Structure 1
Amino acid sequence: MSTRNFYDPMPGTVTMTHVVYGLHAITIIPSLIASAFFPWGISVGTASIVGVIINYVLRGDVRGTWLESHFELQILLFWRAILFILAVFILSFPLIFLGPIGVGLLWVAGLTFMIWFAWKLITGWRALAMGETAPDAR
């Protein structure tokens, strides 16, 4: 945890931060199932979209608090997932022509991304539960 002084968060914002982690987390299992059938099946899902909207709406309420780092992590994870989905979608067309090798590469890329995404969510959520700032999003 950093030594920076933070303001106390507004009542309810800690709970909402837990809710947003939960919304992002419930998209992981359906995304893994979808990616097993379709190489571009990795999906951010409606729950993550709702989560990032909550992040943007409440962002001002957490500014200057230790929760700000959690909101930054959640927003960054969402947009990285969107970029990954776009990249996989664009790359899927030429890679499908490679047959099983191309599809396998797409599936491995999707699985690797989902493991990274889940790890970031778990470590962020754990830090939130311990009352700490979020770990770096890299």
Structure 2
Amino acid sequence: TQLSAITVFIAQGVDNTTKGPFTSIPPNICLLPNLQTVDFSNNQIVTVDPTAALTTCFSNVNTLDLSDNYISQFPSYLIYNIPNLQNLYFQNNQLLEVPSYAFYNVSSLNIIDFSYNNLTTFDLWALD
């Protein structure tokens, strides 16, 4: 089908003053089984639902951009299920900590950007 040909999904808001309409990542994104890049930056996402189908449908994703949202809890369960993740952009959210087990199953990361958060806890050994 044509949906399986889509490898890039971008749903950016305009900028920090004109946020996009998304308050969560819609589960129907799983209808795009071959996504490699997912970009929901500059939206109004507060949390990433741990019970959502997202945990099983991002297996081909290598770039995930959730920057410039309002996320305060790092979605470890989602990252754990993206074994091919290479680039993670999570800057300018409201993170306080990144759990030590956050990157347990992810060995191909090249870029992690947590700038402009309120991080007080981040164990670098979790990247080992």
Fold conserved (TM > 0.5)? no
Which structure is richer in relative contact order (CA contacts within 8 A, separation 6 or more)? Answer: 1
Q: Name the structure where strand makes up a greater proportion of residues.
A: 2
TM-score, normalization: structure 1? Answer: 0.22
Greater C-alpha radius of gyration: 1
TM-score, normalization: structure 2? Answer: 0.24
